[in-house]
């Protein structure tokens, strides 16, 4: 970056501070150690010297801003954050928010509002923080502050005006924050599966706003689901609201799609006898027609993600009622075919006990599951983020990788060290990394595990490394799959992934001002694949379909395929 492109005020500060030092490596080590251990006071001196001698280095300036802010020197922090903003040391919305926080602490209202507006215009990704940050406590009643961060007094607005506020707020934030929300005819058209052009989206939101008085709350909510789904990626979605009963009222059953048919795979104890039942219809709506009505509510990168997530929507009776699938908002009559072939219709009441079971894999605590008692590795300990098992009989070291995350007692990096030791210790013929239940986490945590596997010639060779993938493999897990494909000799087995190699993503949700409905809008473009990878999924090298009969019997078709493959010398 050339200095002539910097703001004049920033350039003046940088040139005034330019200096040289003799032992810069010592300063680098001291600064990074202090930052890592959050010893911000100790970080100030080395970071000041490093910023002075390398004025275009955003890392030094941003960390110096944080150090000054966290030690209470808001004047210095303000200058540092402004310089970091010009250097683009981080997301500029975050940096503008940093300036606004400092100005708020200094009681500079006009400057605070100015920089908060800049953060807002840049789609500041942590809007919830802006609403609750203690730095702005003195301004919580300020109408200009409240407007910027989307705070309203619900008791002071009518129902219609409240919903219109939400629709307008969502429409504005889609344009400020989303990475690629609109369909285009230019080269960027490959970035997402967006359905609307900008003009079509704006027309749709205006139409919805005008129609508010004639629509029920449920109809408005369903329209919001469809608006967000049309943005065209799996991360952009309506997440629901803990304050609104309709989002929590769900059937006490869990479903899964096998061979384009829906089965009951988990259940509250009172409904354990329904495990393995096939769903034929919901009230009078045959299942294919019901799923066809549900599909437009779901944003997805590909059809596999739709198959993974559709069963979750079947549980939400109030929205099934809004779609005309059920007669009631609080119960459904399920037409079922039981495992013995008997057909029956059961009236099942929805309740608030388990509103969200997506991450309760394979089942919520206390529920029954179709494969309870199975001894197959892929059906054991699915609730743990990762674990290893060595089989001396087969020579397989099996790694179940369910979440790209640390656990409460150990980091993923520490686990990677254990994996490295296990590979070295055992006579490993095949390393199997099972990612079929992994729907993401923190991509930045992937690296140690990937390096251990990619850097070990014992397993990183043809026929010795397998990665199992499936419809739930998504987000940070999808990035890991791409890195395995780029860095290793892995053979992929299973189903196509639910995520795309290159796609908008990330989760930084915010609540709409009136309804409190939580929305996530993708604001980062993740390019796990090569730039010329235009596919909507990672397909397996060896296909292994997920069938109901296999899962119910505790049989793992993917592992059977892997065990049947020859192992080259």
Average pLDDT value for residue range 120-138: 93
For residue 542, what are its two tokens? Answer: 């060896």
Nearest CA among 475, 480, 469, 479 for reference residue 416: 480
Which residues are paired to 240 by β-bridges?
Answer: 518
- The radius of gyration of the chain from alpha carbons, rounded to an integer in Å, stands at 26
β-sheet with 518-520: strand ranges across: 237-240, 518-520, 510-511
Domain that holds residue 123: 3-149
Q: Find the mean pLDDT for residues 476-486.
A: 97
Please report the pLDDT score of residue 21 as a whole number: 52
Task: Say if residue 101 is in the same domain as residue 128.
Answer: yes
CA angle (46 as vertex; 33, 56 as ends), nearest 5: 105
Band of residue 569 on the pLDDT scale cut at 50, 70, 90: confident
Helix (H, G, I), strand (E, B) or coil at 203: helix
Answer yes or no: is pLDDT of 5 > 80.
Answer: no
Confidence grade of residue 19 (pLDDT, cut at 50, 70, 90): very low
For the stretch 414-444, pLDDT in tens is 999 999 999 999 999 999 999 999 999 999 9
CATH number for the domain including 410?
3.90.226.10
CB count in 10 Å sphere of residue 339: 17
How many whole angstroms separate alpha carbon 361 and alpha carbon 473? Answer: 13
- Judged against a pLDDT cut of 60, whether residue 16 lies above it is answered with no
Residues 391 and 356 in one domain: no
- The answer to whether residues 283 and 383 belong to one domain is no
Please check whether residues 336 and 259 belong to one and the same domain.
Answer: yes
Residue finishing a domain among 328, 351, 369:
369
In a domain, 294, yes or no: yes
Q: What pTM was computed for the model?
A: 0.91
pLDDT of residue 190: 87
CATH at 105: 1.25.40.10
Assign 337 to helix, strand or coil.
strand
Same domain, 277 and 362: yes
> Distances from the Cα of 366 to the Cαs of 294, 361, 369, 401, 408, in angstroms?
28, 12, 10, 24, 22
* Boundary-marking domain end, from 149, 169, 184: 149
Is the per-residue pLDDT at 1 higher than 60?
Answer: no
Rounded CA separation 103/74 (Å): 8
Q: How far apart are CA 539 and CA 313, in angstroms?
A: 26
Q: Is the pLDDT of residue 31 over 50?
A: yes
- Quick: pLDDT tens for 368-385: 999 998 989 999 999 999
CATH (domain of 353): 2.30.42.10
- Over residues 241-259, the pLDDT tens digits come to 988 999 999 999 999 999 8
């Amino acid at each position: 970056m050339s200095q002539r492109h910097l703001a004049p005020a920033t350039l003046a500060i940088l040139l005034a501070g330019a200096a040289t030092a003799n032992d810069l490596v010592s300063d680098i080590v001291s600064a990074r150690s202090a930052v890592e251990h959050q010893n911000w006071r100790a970080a100030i001196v080395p970071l000041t010297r490093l910023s002075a001698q390398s004025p275009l280095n955003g890392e030094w300036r941003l960390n110096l801003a944080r150090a000054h802010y966290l030690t209470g020197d808001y004047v210095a922090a303000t200058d540092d954050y402004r310089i970091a903003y010009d250097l683009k040391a981080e997301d500029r919305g975050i940096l503008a928010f940093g300036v606004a926080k400092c100005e708020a602490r200094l009681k500079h209202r006009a400057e605070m509002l100015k920089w908060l507006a800049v953060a807002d215009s840049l789609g500041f990704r942590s809007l919830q923080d802006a609403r609750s940050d203690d730095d702005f406590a003195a301004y919580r009643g300020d109408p200009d502050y409240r407007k910027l961060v989307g705070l309203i007094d619900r008791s002071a607005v009518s129902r219609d005006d409240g919903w219109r506020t939400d629709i307008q707020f969502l429409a504005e934030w889609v344009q400020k924050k989303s990475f690629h929300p609109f369909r285009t005819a230019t080269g960027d058209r490959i970035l997402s599966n967006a359905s609307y052009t900008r003009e079509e989206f704006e027309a749709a939101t205006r139409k919805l706003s005008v129609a508010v008085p004639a629509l029920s709350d449920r109809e408005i909510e369903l329209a919001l689901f469809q608006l967000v789904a049309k943005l065209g990626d799996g991360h952009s979605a309506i997440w629901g609201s803990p304050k609104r009963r309709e989002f929590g009222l769900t059937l006490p059953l869990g479903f899964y799609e096998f061979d384009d048919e829906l089965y009951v795979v988990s259940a509250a104890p009172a409904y354990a006898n329904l495990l393995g039942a096939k769903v034929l219809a919901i009230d009078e709506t045959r299942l294919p027609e019901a799923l066809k009505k549900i599909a437009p509510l779901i944003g997805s990168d590909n059809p596999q993600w739709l198959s993974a997530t559709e069963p979750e929507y079947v549980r939400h009776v109030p929205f099934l009622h809004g779609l005309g699938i059920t007669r009631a908002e609080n119960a459904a009559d399920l037409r079922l075919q039981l495992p013995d072939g008997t057909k029956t219709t059961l009236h099942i009441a929805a309740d608030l006990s388990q509103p969200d079971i997506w991450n309760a894999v394979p089942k919520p605590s206390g529920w029954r599951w179709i494969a309870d008692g199975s001894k197959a590795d892929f059906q054991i300990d699915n609730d743990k983020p990762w674990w290893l098992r060595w089989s001396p009989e087969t020579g397989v070291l099996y790694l179940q990788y369910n979440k790209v995350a640390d656990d409460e007692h150990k980091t993923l990096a520490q686990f990677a060290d254990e994996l490295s030791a296990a590979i070295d210790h055992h006579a490993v013929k095949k390393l199997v990394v099972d990612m079929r239940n992994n729907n993401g986490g923190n991509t930045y945590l992937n690296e140690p595990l990937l390096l251990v596997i990619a850097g070990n010639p014992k397993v990183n060779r043809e026929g010795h490394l397998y990665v199992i993938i499936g419809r739930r493999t998504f987000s940070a897990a999808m990035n890991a799959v791409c890195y395995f494909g780029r860095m290793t000799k892995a053979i992929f087995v299973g189903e196509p992934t639910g995520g795309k190699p290159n796609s908008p993503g990330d989760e930084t949700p915010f609540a709409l001002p009136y309804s409190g409905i939580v929305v996530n809008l993708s604001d980062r473009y993740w390019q796990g694949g090569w730039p010329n990878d235009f596919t909507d999924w990672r397909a397996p090298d060896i296909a292994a379909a997920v069938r109901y009969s296999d899962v119910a019997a505790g049989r793992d078709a993917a592992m059977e395929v892997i065990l049947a493959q020859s192992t080259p010398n």
